[in-house]
Amino acid sequence: MPRELHYLLIDISNSFTKIVPSSVDSIGEKIISIPTNEMNERSLQEFSWNLEDPDFYIILSSVVPKLNDKVENVFGKERILEVSNSVHIGCEIDYPDPRSIGADRLANAAAAVSLYGAPAVIVDFGTAVTFDVISSEKSYVGGVISPGLASMTDYMFDHTALLPRIELDEPSSVIGKSTEDAMLSGAVIGYRGLVKEIISSIFNELDESSIQVIATGGYAQLISSGLKEINIVNDSLTLEGLRIIAGLNPFS
């Protein structure tokens, strides 16, 4: 009878670190989110309750390598499966330099193939927005990287004298009646145009009749609500990918 493994999934992104316990079949209901610049060994110690369990493992996705040592110091290197191109993700990687693919993008690919099938396009609205493409042969073939929505609006605030910082939300109309409204319309509606055009160009290049488009990340709900091209929103896609990768890579 197989052992019941207990996982702790850790996704370190540039802005936030998400942590959640998981079984083989499902992630926990309570996902803890910590600003990545506040993540330290003390905050990780709160999740070390299971260290006496020999079947307790850490599945790590990190795009901030300097923080990986903190995870190792708390949990021990022998317990950690760090996602990279050298682990099984449930699909092939057809890419000139697989080592350059971010761990979060590999986790997203694993989740997309396992949960929704292929071909697929994954749109991750993070600090940058990434588009990752899975072919009908279940092969990761590349993607697109664009500036994130928040980084674009923050840039206007940081580099102009009169434009304010805005809270991103659905604009009430295209034509703004104030500076804030005009900026909000340009940000949200304009960003949907960027996403729509990139998806359309990917579709044309793939030349497939039916492609799943899955959105995840901080602004997935906001931007996807106005785009018929995106048919699935999964806020936990990266974490689901870590859970799936754990099952594909047996522990000794």
Report the residue count for the chain. 252
Beta pairing, strands 92-93 & 32-35: unpaired
Q: Bridge partners of 146?
A: 129
Q: Bridge partners of 122?
A: 132, 214
Distance in angstroms (rounded) separating the CA atoms of residues 99 and 12: 17
Token pair recorded at residue 251: 């522990």
Catalytic residue among 104, 154, 158, 169: 104
Active site residue 104: yes
Q: Which are the catalytic amino acids?
A: 104
